[in-house]
Amino acid sequence: MALESRTYQKENNTNILKLLKQSLSDIYSSRFLARQLAERDIKAQYRQSYFGIFWAFITPLATALVWIVLNSSGTVKLSDTGIPYPVYAFSGTLIWSIIVASINSPMQSTNAARGILTKINFPKEALIVSGIYKLLFNSAVKVLILLIFVFVYGVGFHWTLLLVPLALFAAILFGTVIGLLITPLGLLYKDIGKLISFSMQFLMYATPVVYAIPKDGLMKTIMTWNPITPIVLTTRDLIVGFHPEHITYFISVTLLCLPLLAIGLVFYRLAIPIIVERLSA
């Protein structure tokens, strides 16, 4: 019986394909661990809480409510969105919250695992995957609430609703890729996490979350180029049964995410020993 042999030395393997292959095979071999970690976190989260799942969608719901009130009371004048405004606002804040959660997920999962990272050698990719599982779980709950909105406000069923999960996958993919790329830096410096949540607050207003893209002006240019715009708009179009206008940009962003995901995984794999060293030294 040949034993598996491992070598640890200072020189890193720089063959990206080889590293990516190792990363992917670790993801596959650690699928049980990833599921177990996600299950653990979800169970623990809801066992110590009465309202449980409620907290998953209260933030986007509250933001949407604020805007619904602002709009219906005439405090702000928003251009017509073509669909009932509550559906527009809530679908926007909801997709937005999924994207924000996805960006934060890799860093949060890795940070929460500090205790085991510095003690046990296990496939670290499982942390990322468990983060995705948790995102899928929370997003599923959010989408159910959204469906209630869709039917209550008379938008009704469209066959495109069936494609919404795909769009949400793209949203999670996009967020996770961004999150994965900043995780190594974010683990070393807390500033990164703060900076992200701070700038995401502003970015929301440069994305058609609670209002549509204006007809002209600087804001129009920014909002049209913003890579999150096609994700929000396409998902919303699929929900309400409109023709997805930004589908080309949406597909390009999604496809671009794939090589970036590969780079992110490789970078993460190279970074973990360095981070463990700095955290536990």
Partner 1 sequence: MNQLDNDILISVEGLSKKFCKDLKTSLWYGIKDLFLGVTGNRNNRELRPKEFWALKDINFQLRRGECLGLIGHNGAGKSTLLKILNGLINPDAGKVTIKGRVGALIELGAGFNPILTGRENIYNNGAVLGFTRNEIENKIEEIIDFSEIREFIDMPVQNYSSGMKVRLGFAIAAQMEPDVLIVDEVLAVGDVGFRIKCLNRISELLNKCAVILVSHSMPQIARICTNGILLDKGKTSLLTNDVGLLVEKYYVTFEDNYKSNEINPFGITIKDFNVNGRSIKENATLNLKHGEDIILSFKFVCPSDIENFSVHLPITDDQMIHVALTSSLMNLGLTKNNNQLVSVDCKVPCLFTNGRFYLGLTIIETNINENQYTIGKTLFKKENYIKFFVKESPLTTSVPVLLNSNFVIKK
Cα dihedral sign, 28-141-103-167 = positive
73 forms part of the interface with partner 1 (CB under 8 A): no
Please tell me the distance from the alpha carbon of residue 212 to that of residue 134, in angstroms, as a whole number: 30
Q: Is 136 exposed, middle or buried (0-12, 13-18, 19+ CB in 10 A)?
A: middle
- The single residue among 50, 51, 120, 218 that binds partner 1, judged by CB under 8 A, is 120
- Residue 50 binds to partner 1 (criterion: CB under 8 A): no
Angle between helices 125-152 and 16-29 (to 10 degrees): 70
Q: In the complex with partner 1, which residue's Cβ is closer, 114 or 158?
A: 114
In the bound complex, what is the minimum distance in angstroms from residue 182's beta carbon to partner 1?
Answer: 12
What is the contact mask toward partner 1 in residues 163 to 202, using x (rule: CB under 8 A)?
A: ---------------------xx--xx-------------
Q: Where are the alpha helices (DSSP H) in 30-84?
A: 31-47, 54-72
Assess contact for 61 and 145: CB atoms under 8 A. Answer: yes
Residue 275 in the binding site for partner 1 (CB under 8 A): yes
CB of 195 to partner 1, least distance (A): 15
Matching residue, tokens 């129009």: 220
Is residue 53 within the footprint of partner 1 (CB under 8 A)?
no
- Does residue 206 interact with partner 1 by CB under 8 A? no
Question: Is residue 267 a contact residue for partner 1 (CB under 8 A)?
Answer: yes
φ and ψ at residue 14, rounded to 5 degrees: -110, 5
Polymer length in residues for the chain: 281
Cβ distance to partner 1 smaller for residue 6 or 215? 6
CA atoms of 26 and 122, how far apart (whole Å): 9
Type of residue found at 41: D
Residue from 68, 87, 117, 238 that binds partner 1 (CB under 8 A)?
A: 117
Task: Note whether 116 binds partner 1 by CB under 8 A.
Answer: yes
- Interface residue list for partner 1 (CB under 8 A): 3-14, 32-33, 36-37, 40, 43-44, 47-48, 113, 115-122, 184-185, 188-189, 267, 270-271, 273-278, 280-281
